[in-house]
């Protein structure tokens, strides 16, 4: 059993030509989910990390479990208008239009070291916006962590151009 083997591919979702990588099949497998979190814990245990920030929504699942195991706080990065207290946001461009992500203004203290987590890195637009949001509030991103990398789409390289370290447990090449 490998993590990659437990990820379902759904052709032509959400539109024709897209090969959607679905981690729900990984999450429902108790051994697969445990192995995923344990591999990430092994990587980050001993690193100086103050908070784990997870990008909505699947980044919440991986990020919260990882933060718990590392004994650090968890920060949700959400779509606009979803958080109840005062927020700070960052607008970013999508293929067709724009979007905004937000977090609470008191989620990260100046100088805190933050591990950014999401399920997948594709174009890197949302992850780049999350990095900029964390930096805007005074945090320092220690690494950007993903379960899946789609290297041919370019998000990994996009984050590296921002001088970010990027890690993924597995990659789907050519798609």
- Over residues 60-81, mean pLDDT: 98
Query: Tens of pLDDT along 86-129?
Result: 999 999 987 677 899 999 999 999 999 999 999 999 999 999 99
Within-domain flag for 5 = no
Active site residue 58: yes
Question: Which residue out of 21, 58, 78, 158 is catalytically annotated?
Answer: 58
Active site residue 43: no
State the residue for tokens 């949302």: 126
Query: Tens of pLDDT along 78-92?
Result: 999 999 999 999 999
Range of the domain at 141: 47-171
Question: Which residue out of 48, 86, 95, 173 is catalytically annotated?
Answer: 95
Distance separating alpha carbons of residues 169 and 134, to the nearest angstrom: 23
Q: What is the mean pLDDT of the chain?
A: 96
Within-domain flag for 19 = no
Could you give the C-alpha distances from 140 to 86, 130, 132, 159, 168, in angstroms and in order?
Answer: 21, 11, 10, 14, 19
CATH number for the domain harbouring residue 121: 3.40.50.2020
Within-domain flag for 134 = yes
* pTM of the model as a whole: 0.96
């Amino acid at each position: 059993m490998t993590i990659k083997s437990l990820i379902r591919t759904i052709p032509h979702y959400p539109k024709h030509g897209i090969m959607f990588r679905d981690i729900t099949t990984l999450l429902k497998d108790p051994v697969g989910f445990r192995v995923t979190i344990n591999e990430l814990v092994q990587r980050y245990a001993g690193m100086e990390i103050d908070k784990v920030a997870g990008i909505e929504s699947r980044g919440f699942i991986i990020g919260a479990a990882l933060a718990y195991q590392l004994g650090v706080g968890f920060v949700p990065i959400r779509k606009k208008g979803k958080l109840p207290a005062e927020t700070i946001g960052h607008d970013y461009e999508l293929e067709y239009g724009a979007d905004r992500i937000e977090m609470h203004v008191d989620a990260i203290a100046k100088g805190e070291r933050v591990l950014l987590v999401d399920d997948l890195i594709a174009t890197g637009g949302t992850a780049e916006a999350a990095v900029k949001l964390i930096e805007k509030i005074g945090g320092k991103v220690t690494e950007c962590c993903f379960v899946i990398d789609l290297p041919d789409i370019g998000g990994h390289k996009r984050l590296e151009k921002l001088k970010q370290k990027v890690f993924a447990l597995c990659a789907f090449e050519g798609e």
